[in-house]
Amino acid sequence: MPLGYYGMSGSYILYFLLIMLIPLWAQFKVKRTYERYKKVRTKSGLTGKEVAEIIMQANGITGVRVVRGEVELSDHYDPTNNIVVLSPIVHDQPTVASVAIAAHEIGHVIQDKVADYKPMRWRHSLVPLANLGGNLSTILIMVGFLLTGLIGQFGYTVAWVGVGFMLFAVLFQVVTLPVEFDASKRALEQVVDLNIVDDQEHRHCRKVLTAAALTYVAAAVVALMEMLRFVFILLNSNNRN
């Protein structure tokens, strides 16, 4: 049987359903939660931009700009350029979703500028390798599958090299989890300590950030499942030969 050939068994179909449904479910949860809480105004009346600036000032952070992005749910911190990009609604509106998301992004700034948070450094160092792995891994694995049928063991080697590159992308997703969870923890602490939200708004903020965290969990699970699939295929195929 050629390397990479497998029938559409029930387990194989279930696998593909899972890697499609897990990210879709996470995105659905995020979108639904965000749509709900972007309509709930906070009592403080502070916009996301104002919340971000208040938290940075309270933590003695200077030199980081808060700018208005153009795409919804595109919020992120760019440590290279010292910029926090907030999507239009988050930047402009005084809502629970705006407070939660803006505070979360400043959580990353605190990790970078105040706490010297090691997992964030590790994630940043993995970016070039993860990008390389994401671009090359599948190509190398597929080429390895093809070469195995023609020249044997060398094809396996090429495929395993592809799996090695894929590992960098998986590691990036795994390291991202504690970075994101920690940023949310810091965000929730800051909005309480600085009296930006009351108890009820704090609970709502937690729901927004928990839903957002699901997307990172889903990405890590899918990346790990995909890598393990190729590992099992290679091991099983090598045992048959």
By annotation, the residues acting in catalysis are: 105
Query: Which residues fall within 8 angstroms of residue 99, CB to CB, at 6 or more apart?
Result: 42, 46, 48, 51, 191, 196, 197, 201, 205
Query: Which residues fall within 8 angstroms of residue 2, CB to CB, at 6 or more apart?
Result: 145, 148, 149
Q: What is the spatial distance between Cα 163 and Cα 217, in angstroms, rounded to a whole number?
A: 21
Q: What is the spatial distance between Cα 185 and Cα 104, in angstroms, rounded to a whole number?
A: 8
Alpha carbon distances (Å) from 163 to 4, 37, 234 = 14, 41, 10
Query: Which residues fall within 8 angstroms of residue 103, CB to CB, at 6 or more apart?
Result: 51, 52, 55, 187, 188, 190, 191, 196, 205
* Nearest alpha carbon to residue 226 among 165, 179, 175: 165
* Nearest alpha carbon to residue 111 among 85, 81, 79: 79
Q: Residue 96: count other Cβ atoms within 10 Å of its Cβ.
A: 26
* Nearest alpha carbon to residue 44 among 96, 102, 101, 103: 96
